[in-house]
Structure 1
Amino acid sequence: MKKLHSLTTLTLLTVFSLNATAAIVLDRTRAVYPGGAKSISINIKNENQTLPYLAQSWIEDSEGKKISSPFVILPPVQRVDANQKSIVRIATVPAVDALPKDRESIYYFNLREIPPKSDKANIMQIAVQSKIKLFYRPQQIIPERNAVWQDQVTITKQGLALQIHNPTPYFITYVGLAHPKGKEKTSIKGFSAVMVAPKSDMRAAIPEAVGNNFIISYVNDYGGYIDLTYQCSGNNCQVRKGE
């Protein structure tokens, strides 16, 4: 009986073709919608070389609920031919005027690929879904190009935690922590990414204590990872001048 069970399991595993590689891909890892803009565009591409795919898009709020206001997607569903590019537009409706004017608001842009129906038997098809942060940035707080506000954040050491104070009107996401080592750095493994809301404080757990100098990495508007070196006086830490 054991041999029969093993043979059956092996047969079931081999009759399915499983491919979880995304065909429809985005051109970014986050999007910023500047207040006053009529719309913004997100570029997508079907990287499958032979098959057309449908691309379904929608917006979710901070709680993961699908919404149709204050943002709309144009078009919500479209066909993208093999190895071709297309555009998804995000536009606002009048309800956007009710959003806070003194800080960013966060939403999530979702993109799901829908593969063509296979004419082969015993094929398991996987619909891959991408999800990125969508920040609405009111006109009143749109910074100058290449401005850096992340260096205004102060951090207090609390043993195996960092108390992060974000006085800015922007969301800030931290993705890495490291010890400085000359001109290099030694990454601290096990640090979990955290996002600090505008004008708020957050306590972030860290896998090991940091010294009087440490490096923390944030994500900029373009999805790049940027290092900031903090220098501490006691437990109170600020960005090192000239960094």
Structure 2
Amino acid sequence: MKRLTVVVACLSLFWLIPGKTGIMANMTRVIYHQGDKERSVLLANTNKYPVIVQSWVDHGEADPQAKTPFVVLASIFHLPAQKIQAIRIVYNGDHLPDDRESVFWLNLYEIPPNLHQQALNQDNAKISLAMNTQLKLFYRPKELADFPVKLADKITFTLQQKDQEWVLICKNSSPFHISFSQIVFDS
């Protein structure tokens, strides 16, 4: 019952966020633990129109033909306006390093309906755009079960001058991938 309550709470959050977000996932990143059979991601169509969604995993190049050890099911589907659909990510078993995380990108390519005919029937011009949203997908080996509390101790920053520019070099000696939302320089 507790899991059902959490799922219902997460689903209700989809419609609380204002703006024109289009396809929205219930998470900002996917962590695929070694040994998992699959990972599910819920997608909500916040548009007022249906879309076709194509989903795949790549190395960040937004290429549906990229070779990775992950398959997304359903890879292409119709998502009606204001509806939710789950996709599943399945690992095919190809070898990945077991001493560090591997990072991939989950692509959610949203194709809107053809609005061309509607624009011709009206006196105002419209443009229809396809959108690609990318989420990081981390494959985490069993040896890295828990994210370390003192991860900041494994990160070092160095400021170096190259030609006429200053460059900030970040070295991460941990086996985890790290994303920064903000870096502030304090003088």
- Both structures adopt the same fold (TM-score exceeding 0.5): yes
Q: Displacement, 1:22?
A: 4.3
In 2, Cα distance between equivalents of 1:173 and 1:94: 26
Change (3 A) 1:22 1:129: farther
In 2, Cα distance between equivalents of 1:61 and 1:137: 16
Residue equivalent to 1:238? none
Residue equivalent to 2:168? 162
Amino acid paired to 1:176: Q
The TM-score with structure 2 as length reference comes to 0.72
Residue equivalent to 1:32? 31
In 2, Cα distance between equivalents of 1:35 and 1:148: 23
Residue equivalent to 1:67? 66
Superimposed CA distance per residue, residues 38-74 of structure 1 (whole angstroms, 9 cap, x where no aligned partner):
111112111123x222211011125554335410001
Change (3 A) 1:58 1:155: same
Residue equivalent to 1:57? 55
Alpha-carbon RMSD across the aligned residues, in angstroms, is: 2.3
- The secondary structure found in structure 1 opposite 2:130 is coil
Residue equivalent to 1:121? 119
In 1, Cα distance between equivalents of 2:130 and 2:111: 6
Identity %: 31
Superimposed CA distance per residue, residues 65-110 of structure 1 (whole angstroms, 9 cap, x where no aligned partner):
4335410001001222221111111111121xx1111011111110
Conserved 8 A contact 2:60-2:104: yes
In 2, Cα distance between equivalents of 1:162 and 1:84: 44
In 1, Cα distance between equivalents of 2:150 and 2:52: 38
In 2, Cα distance between equivalents of 1:168 and 1:157: 20
Residue equivalent to 1:104? 101
Conserved 8 A contact 1:62-1:106: no
In 1, Cα distance between equivalents of 2:172 and 2:54: 35
In 2, Cα distance between equivalents of 1:148 and 1:82: 44
Identify the match of residue 136 of structure 1 among 132, 135, 139: 139
Identify the match of residue 171 of structure 1 among 160, 166, 177: 177
Q: Displacement, 1:148?
A: 4.5
Unaligned runs of 5+ in 1: 1-20, 181-210, 212-243
Amino acid paired to 2:111: I
Identify the structure with the greater strand proportion: 1
1:1-243 alignment, distance < 5 Å: 21-49=20-48, 51-62=49-60, 65=63, 66-67=65-66, 69-95=68-94, 98-118=95-115, 119-122=117-120, 123-143=126-146, 147-158=149-160, 160-179=166-185, 211=187
Change (3 A) 1:161 1:61: closer
Q: Displacement, 1:124?
A: 2.8
Larger relative contact order (Cα-Cα within 8 Å, sequence gap ≥ 6): 2
In 1, Cα distance between equivalents of 2:21 and 2:170: 36
In 2, Cα distance between equivalents of 1:109 and 1:150: 27
Conserved 8 A contact 2:62-2:107: no
Amino acid paired to 2:72: I
- The secondary structure found in structure 1 opposite 2:168 is strand
Q: How many residue pairs get matched? A: 157
Amino acid paired to 1:136: Y
Amino acid paired to 1:143: D
Q: Displacement, 1:162?
A: 3.3
